[in-house]
């Protein structure tokens, strides 16, 4: 088993960390550009495994994808008639849940598969919805095949999106190209990660689509998608672990280009860190700085809308004084891995005190010890383990390379930050 010795520090970190673009915005922008009425240029494109899988998938269906020779983060996207092809989803939820609707607009069969771990991820919600809208699809999980006919009728559809907001976004992104558009009604427990749907709606509107939400249903009118030159914001979810390092060590970490307003759920990390005793301030030039406290406070918080921050918050809670409760995150059992079980198992493996609840975790801060932290091929698990390793000597991360899913340079960035400890 290959492991990476997570660097630990005995003094506070003091670093500036420049993050690459947002995966969530990048992959939405790529789809909208592929379906647009003319060519687009995307600058600040995240180049990671998940986004490269999206680039390759769109190219496989006929879209012109041209990264700049001297800057792979600048990508020209030229729409073209979509045709059949083979799509490797890897472990990317945005690929396996956003592209089936695009595949239904292709002329030909689009075959989807991915990593072994991805074959257990729930997909039937979006695939059944596409069937209700007129698509022909074989299978309800990876591998599956969309028999594209070049068009999709669209219309009204009811889904239970309580397992993932991606089911709604995956339908919305292509809906303007459906013959009758779409009206999506959610029927079930509350949809998690609603800010991600708001991100989708905002980007659709920027591309000229007519989108409305009445509190129960989303409607997209049929019509063209306007070509937009997209500039991608830094990935604020990837920033979370680095900012949390300031909180964990009583140090200071700054992130440039922090937006004044954003639909990225990762922006909520600053509020959470402040609740745990840190301070956060953004300068006029966009530099966001978090300064850690002498001791972390325990927290009782509902993370339903920002579930992707759970591994980072859980790691901090394991280092905090007192008992923390993380609620509203039962849907994390269907992510890259069962994140609740994985977090409980791995923190407890290091001597922690974590119990699963029906919809979250109860974490008591106790002294932790050295050990191997397993990642379950989940990038957020890898960064959470690295955060603990920063203050617990002797933590080794199994398969830290899984961070390439969204942050290919994580190891060097983390080691540089750790080296800033004074």
Residue 117 annotated as binding site: no
Residue 420 annotated as binding site: no
Residue 178 vs residues 137, 160, 175: alpha-carbon distances, Å: 16, 21, 5
Contacts of 180 (CB under 8 A, 6+ apart): 153, 154, 155, 222
The region, left, alpha or beta by phi > 0 then psi within -120 to 50, assigned to residue 56 is alpha
Q: Is there a cis peptide before residue 143, judged by omega within 30 degrees of 0?
A: yes
Residue 380 annotated as binding site: yes
Residue 49 annotated as binding site: no
Report CA torsion sign: 85, 90, 94, 96: positive
- b/e code 304-319 from CB counts within 10 Å (16+ = b): bbbbbbbbbbbbbbbb
Strand partners, 281: 289
Residue 257 annotated as binding site: no
Check: CB of residue 385 under 8 Å from CB of residue 373.
Answer: yes
Residue 422 annotated as binding site: no
Q: How many CB atoms lie within 10 A of CB 137?
A: 21
Residue 193 vs residues 15, 57, 133, 388: alpha-carbon distances, Å: 30, 25, 24, 25
Closest CA to 401 of 389, 420, 390, 414: 414
Check: CB of residue 245 under 8 Å from CB of residue 251.
Answer: yes
Residue 405 annotated as binding site: yes
Check: CB of residue 354 under 8 Å from CB of residue 326.
Answer: no
Strand partners, 321: 297
Interatomic CA distance for residues 278 and 242, integer angstroms: 13
The region, left, alpha or beta by phi > 0 then psi within -120 to 50, assigned to residue 235 is beta
Contacts of 173 (CB under 8 A, 6+ apart): 28, 31, 32, 35, 98, 101, 102, 200, 204
Which is catalytic among the residues 268, 308, 346, 398?
308
Residue 233 annotated as binding site: no
Residue 327 annotated as binding site: no
Which phi and psi angles does 143 have, rounded to 5°?
A: -80, 150
DSSP helix/strand/coil, 419: coil
Concerning whether 274 is annotated as a catalytic residue, the answer is: no
Residue 325, class by beta-carbon neighbours within 10 Å (0-12 exposed, 13-18 middle, 19+ buried)?
middle
Rg (CA), the chain: 21
Residue 24 annotated as binding site: yes
List the binding residues for phosphoenolpyruvate.
23, 93, 121, 166, 339, 380, 405
Catalytic residue annotation:
308
Question: Which residue numbers belong to the known binding site?
Answer: 23-24, 28, 93, 121, 164-166, 193, 308, 335, 339, 380, 405
Residue numbers in the known binding site for 3-phosphoshikimate are 23-24, 28, 164-166, 193, 308, 335
């Amino acid at each position: 088993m290959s492991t990476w010795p997570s660097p630990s520090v005995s003094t506070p970190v003091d670093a500036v960390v420049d993050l690459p673009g947002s995966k969530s915005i990048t992959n939405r922008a790529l789809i909208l550009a592929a379906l647009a009425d003319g060519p687009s240029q995307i600058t600040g494109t995240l180049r990671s495994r998940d986004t490269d899988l999206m680039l390759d998938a769109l190219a496989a269906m006929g879209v012109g994808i041209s990264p700049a020779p001297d800057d792979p983060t600048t990508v020209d996207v030229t729409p073209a008639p979509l045709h059949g092809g083979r799509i490797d989803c890897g472990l990317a939820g945005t690929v396996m849940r956003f592209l089936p609707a695009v595949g239904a607009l292709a002329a030909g069969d689009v075959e989807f598969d991915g990593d072994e771990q991805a074959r257990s991820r729930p997909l039937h919600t979006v695939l059944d919805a596409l069937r209700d809208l007129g698509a022909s699809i074989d299978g309800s999980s990876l591998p599956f095949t969309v028999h594209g006919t070049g068009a999709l009728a669209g219309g009204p559809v009811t889904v239970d999106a309580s397992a993932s907001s991606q089911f709604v976004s995956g339908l919305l992104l292509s809906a303007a190209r459906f013959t009758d558009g779409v009206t999506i009604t959610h029927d079930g427990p509350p949809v998690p990660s609603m800010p991600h749907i708001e991100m989708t709606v905002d980007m659709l509107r920027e591309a000229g689509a007519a989108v409305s939400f009445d509190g129960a249903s989303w409607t997209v009118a049929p019509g063209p998608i306007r070509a937009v030159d997209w500039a991608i914001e830094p990935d604020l979810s990837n920033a979370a672990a680095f900012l949390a390092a300031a909180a964990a060590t009583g140090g200071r970490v700054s992130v440039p280009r922090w937006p004044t307003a954003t639909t990225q759920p990762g922006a909520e990390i600053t509020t959470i860190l402040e609740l745990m005793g840190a301070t956060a301030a953004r300068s006029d030039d966009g530099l966001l700085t978090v300064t850690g406290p002498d001791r972390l406070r325990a927290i009782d918080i509902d993370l339903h809308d920002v579930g992707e921050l759970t591994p980072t918050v859980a790691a901090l809670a394991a280092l905090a004084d007192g008992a923390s409760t993380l609620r509203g995150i039962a849907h994390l059992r269907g992510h890259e891995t069962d994140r609740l079980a994985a977090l409980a198992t791995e923190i407890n493996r290091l001597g922690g005190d974590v119990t699963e609840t029906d919809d979250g975790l109860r974490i008591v801060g106790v002294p932790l010890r050295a050990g191997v932290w397993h990642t379950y091929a989940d990038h957020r698990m890898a960064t959470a383990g690295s955060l603990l390793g920063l203050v617990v000597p002797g933590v080794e991360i199994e398969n830290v390379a899984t961070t390439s899913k969204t942050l290919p340079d994580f190891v060097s960035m983390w080691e540089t930050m750790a080296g800033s400890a004074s």
